[in-house]
Amino acid sequence: PEGGFVPFEIELAQRVVAEPVHLGSRILSVDTALTSVLALGG
């Protein structure tokens, strides 16, 4: 989301399936974030 995730959303995602990844301080669009994760070996 534009403003970021609220703590509840992060906790829920981590409990269900998500693994946190830090890609830097900039906010990336989905297509840029996906490309970055794949380049890192995601």
> pTM of the full predicted structure?
0.44
Instruction: Give the Cα separation of 32 and 36 in Å (integer).
Output: 6
The pLDDT > 70 percentage for the chain reads 90
**Structural domain boundaries of the chain?**
7-39
Does residue 42 sit in helix, strand or coil? coil
Quick check: 13 pLDDT over 80?
yes
Q: Which residues contact 28 (CB under 8 A, 6 or more apart)?
A: 36
Give, for 11, the enclosing helix (H) or strand (E): helix 7-16
Confidence of residue 1 (pLDDT cuts 50, 70, 90): low
State the chain's mean pLDDT as an integer.
81
Could you tell me which residue, 4 or 16, shows the higher pLDDT?
A: 16
Q: Which residues contact 20 (CB under 8 A, 6 or more apart)?
A: 10, 14
